[in-house]
Chains A and B, each alone.
Chain A
Amino acid sequence: MSQLLERAERMLESARGAEEIEVYVASGVDTEVQAYQGEVEELTTATSNGFGVRILNDSAGGARVGTAWAGSLDDEAIVNALREARDNATFATEDEFVAFARPDGVAAVSLTLTDDAVASTPLDQKIAMAIELERLVRSGDTRIRQVDSANYSDYVAEAAIASTTGIRASYARTGAYVSVEAIANDGGDDQTGWGLSAGRAPHELDIEKAAADAIRRATRMLGAVKPKSFKCTAVFDPRTAATLFSIIGSALSGEAVVRGRSIFANRVGEMVATPSFTLLDDPTDARHFAASVYDAEGLACRRNVLIERGELKGFVYDTVSARRAGTVSTGSAVRGGIAGSPSAGCRALQLAPGDVDQAEILRRVGNGVFVESLIGVHSGVNPVSGDFSVGVTGLMIRDGQLAEPVREITVASTLQRMLLDVVHVGSDLEWLPGAAAGQSVAIDNIAVSGT
């Protein structure tokens, strides 16, 4: 049994009377290197640990939960948090749907999500990767004027969940990343592009690819102009498409549905997307960087099909949102670290790949806009109304080929409409950090706003 799980189990011993306790304990070791002009600009090394505790009191009128958290595992912090959580519970509204997760018989899959190389790789080697990444970008193209940050980061994260309702779960994950932002100039305006590579350990990172990506993205935007407003088909590249899938995923949360905040509520069984669109949330696929054995309530993660060939099949649920909806948890509880309360959310989205590559999609689309980066997703997308309007840089598509770069434009539609307007899904599935993998998609009826 992991030390964290033992720690979590010990905290359960303080349960009083009929109350239930759930404890989430987490610890992490992080390293971050930022290189600049061939030197280390910032080097951060840190270890952290903490816990979140929830206490539940059941009565005839329903259950009440109180929460507390602390950024340490000291005895004093534990005693104080238990006291605060207990006190908070007395002020909550009695709610018949509130409950902690109980073991549901679904077996956890076995996944390898850690690599000892994160801990065993010498710091000097990690530093060398960041410095090399910067050098490759600076020397890769004479039009690269500046590299304002080249970063290496990695982590080892462990967590355990235990509850008086029978939950016992512990898991670990490692990750390593490099990312770089390049600024290009050829006499006119500056343009930027960033590249990244992600893996479970440093040896999985492709520094050359990250550097080449940043250079290509920055240099091909040189000379970008602002076009006139027009309506067209937009092709989202894998990275921007992944952002789009994450937004759709947030509206497929059972939490959003039971809180009356989802554009998909009461639409199960309807065709909400084109038949080429199949979206699933599958944390048991180890290729996904966000793969996980257990959810944030300690239930086994599982494969959930959300939209199948255009038809809405269902939502992801945690325990409480499932009870409210009259169903059972899909093992999809997520929480924002020790300070967060569990809620339902997608963790590892992927779209079933299509059978055409990006070049073929461009050829079939003929004329339109290619979306390479997004800005203002948080301020321009309203997941409740479905209104979608984001700032974009990219390239025009002319005669089936990428053409001149465009900037300072927005692309707009509604999420509801965009799903029904998906005309091509790419075969170029790319695993990316974050809640969604990405691949090229073409979407019709997009309003491009320029001059």
Chain B
Amino acid sequence: MIGPCTLACMKSTLVEHEVLQRTLGEAMARGGDFAEVFVEDRTTSSAMLDQRRVEQLSSGHERGAGIRVVVGDTTGFAHTANLTESGLVAAARAAAAVARDGGGGVREIALGPLRDNPSRATILPADVDKARKIELMNHADDAARSEGSSITQVQVALGDSTRHFVVANSDGLFAGDHQVRTRFNVSCIAKGDTGMQTGYRPIAGTRGFELLSADAVAEAARGAARQAITKLDARPAPSGDLPVVLAGGSGGILFHEACGHGLEADAILKQASVYAGKVGQLVASPLVTLVDDGTVEGEWGYLAIDDEGRPGARNVLIENGVLTDYMWDYLRSRKEGRVSSGNGRRQSYQHLPMVRMTNTYLLEGDSDADEIVAQTPYGVYVAQLGGGQVNTATGDFVFGMTAAFMIEDGKITAPLRDCNLIGNGPDVLHRVDAVASDFSMTPGTCGKNGQSVPVGTGQATMRLTGVTIGGAAV
């Protein structure tokens, strides 16, 4: 269903068609091979409830254009908050400074009609009463505290953004998108004899306020509180190589780090990834079919078009253990004479696009989640992962567990304190020996070269025959 549009989202081009054409012509005037104008308007709001106090209610607005000019293997980029024709032309000339050989003067660029993509949100952030947001945050606070008196701190954060952009390039592409995203996080601290422990649950989607029901936020809050309380009894995690069962959802971070970043074409083309030159090879257990999918509507990494105007797509990266393809943006696919896979993304108009993931997930298998645990005599059960990092050139990666337990005699037993797990991507992918059918997804923020973008990760409960647990108990 398509929601009602506010006045701001009705102004669908942000900058006049003819002005964009002339700006592109100016950008190509010194002999560029390709030019692009990306115009963005973003409105955000955020609020925090800390210890039942409503704080830091903030509203933000930014608008501007990023212009890039490609000449051979060189990209020039400039951005401006001045969206008048003179502001855009000045930025176009700055970006074109990389084209040093001069050119034939201003080039004629003909843009097609705008291909616009309306938001699928049903309740737009601008239409939500702030009092209603505060009511939901208080509701989450109450729910968290109802889990027990050891909960001493509850922090609830609510944020939304309405991002409208148009992208026009010298190939004549002219496309727009309206992205509405909403997030709601609950962080709890429980205090006991052993000190303080934390619990955290996020809700986030490329959706409007309809994402947040009273039940959903209360459920997240209770989950965060229980996680903190449970960890009060946690013991230091073990160290060394142990079998690990990852619960469905946030375990997808494993694939995001273990191979996702290494399958981004910018790392591949620079031979800075352990997966370069491996298409067609068996790189993972046959149980692994990995997909990056910008089309999963409503998910945190959903996009109708990417930030280069290419439609989001479902791309199979690994099929039954065999590497099938990498992820591509405009620049890298152009070098290889192919088309972009819809993975060109940027944080804002102030940033150059690069190859980024959208929603990256492992297809579910046919094992039973409880059976997988029951058939693990000794190991670690990770209920929630909190993030990770990878060195794509060496393949070494870490991911942090924020809720984990021992598995002893096929049963989930003692809770464990937070720690990182470490492995090498190409090695760990072969160690997947069971995948269940309880698929779910988790939102996250992916950072790369200083740019953050929203992504989703997903998988069903699965087991790794061994991963190094970075605990303090030796």
Contact = CB atoms under 8 A, between A and B. Distances in A.
A and B: bona fide binding partners: yes
Interface of A: 36-37, 39-50, 65-72, 77, 80-81, 84-85, 87-89, 91-93, 95, 123, 145-146, 148, 183, 189-192, 226, 228-231, 259-261, 263, 339, 341, 375-376, 378-380, 382, 384-391, 393, 407-414, 447-451
B471 A447 contact: yes
A450 B240 contact: yes
B73 interface: yes
A92 B54 contact: yes
A44 B94 CA distance: 9
A440 B138 CA distance: 47
B79 to A, nearest CB: 5
Contacts of A230: 474
A412 B236 CA distance: 10
A88 B62 contact: no
Contact of B418 (A36, A95, A382, A450): A382
Contact of A389 (B55, B73, B419): B419
Contacts of B75: 41-43
Contacts of B413: none
B53 A93 contact: yes
A72 B62 contact: yes
Nearest to A446: B472
Nearest to A50: B62
Contacts of B59: 67-69, 81, 84-85, 87-88
A380 B60 contact: no
Nearest to A37: B73
B206 interface: no
Contact of A447 (B72, B197, B473): B473
Given A47-B80, A92-B54, A407 B394 contact: yes
Contacts of A226: 468
B229 interface: no
A44 B57 CA distance: 33
Contacts of A95: 53, 55
B467 to A, nearest CB: 11
A228 B422 CA distance: 14
Contacts of A447: 239, 471-474
Contacts of A259: 50-51, 153, 155
10 contacts: A41-B74, A44-B77, A44-B78, A85-B59, A91-B54, A260-B152, A260-B189, A379-B389, A408-B468, A451-B468
A379 B57 contact: no
Given A77-B61, A379-B400, A183 B153 contact: no
Contacts of A231: 474
Given A72-B62, A148-B272, A449-B239, A389 B472 contact: yes
Contacts of A263: 195-196
Contacts, number: 266
Interface of B: 44, 47, 50-64, 72-81, 94-95, 97-98, 130-131, 134, 152-153, 155, 189, 191, 195-198, 231, 236-237, 239-241, 267, 270-272, 274, 350, 352, 385-391, 393-394, 396-400, 417-420, 422-424, 468-474
A190 B394 contact: yes
A183 B272 contact: yes
Contacts of A46: 77-80, 350
Given A91-B131, A95-B53, A414-B472, A389 B58 contact: no
A39 B98 CA distance: 11
A379 B387 contact: yes
B58 A339 contact: yes
A378 B352 contact: no
A165 to B, nearest CB: 19
Contacts of A376: 387-389, 398-400, 420, 422
Nearest to A80: B61
A413 B472 contact: yes
A45 B470 contact: no
A263 B67 CA distance: 47
A194 B410 CA distance: 44
Contacts of A71: 60-64, 81
Nearest to B197: A385
A92 B391 contact: no
A71 B82 CA distance: 10
A68 B195 CA distance: 37
Contacts of B396: 375, 391, 393, 407-408
Top 3 closest A-B pairs, CB basis?
A410-B470, A379-B400, A71-B62
A49 B472 contact: no
Contacts of A384: 189, 196-198
Contacts of B50: 259
Contacts of A391: 389, 396-398, 420, 422, 470
Contacts of B468: 226, 408-410, 449-451
A145 B273 CA distance: 13
Contact of A385 (B74, B131, B418): B418
B54 A93 contact: yes
B393 to A, nearest CB: 5
Contact of B394 (A37, A191, A410): A191
A6 to B, nearest CB: 20
A80 B126 CA distance: 14
A228 B231 CA distance: 28
A48 B94 CA distance: 14
B389 A378 contact: yes
B198 to A, nearest CB: 5
A67 B77 contact: no
Contact of A67 (B56, B469, B473): B56
Contact of B400 (A41, A70, A380, A451): A380
A85 B189 CA distance: 30
A385 B472 contact: no
Contact of A72 (B63, B155, B400): B63
Contacts of B74: 39-43
A40 to B, nearest CB: 5
A388 B423 CA distance: 18
Contacts of B237: 389, 412
A449 B242 CA distance: 11
Contacts of A80: 61
Contacts of B80: 46-47
B73 A41 contact: yes
Contact of B274 (A48, A148, A190): A190
A71 B354 CA distance: 23
B387 A378 contact: yes
B195 A412 contact: no
Given A41-B74, A46-B78, A67-B58, A379 B420 contact: yes
Nearest to A232: B474
A78 to B, nearest CB: 11
B423 A93 contact: no
Contacts of B397: 375, 391
B198 A382 contact: yes
- Residue of B50, B272, B385 ringed by the most chain A CB atoms within 10 A: B272
A357 B402 CA distance: 38
A310 B183 CA distance: 42
A299 B236 CA distance: 43
A391 B422 CA distance: 7
B471 A412 contact: yes
Contacts of B97: 43, 45, 123
B183 to A, nearest CB: 15
A189 B420 contact: no
B142 to A, nearest CB: 15
B198 A89 contact: no
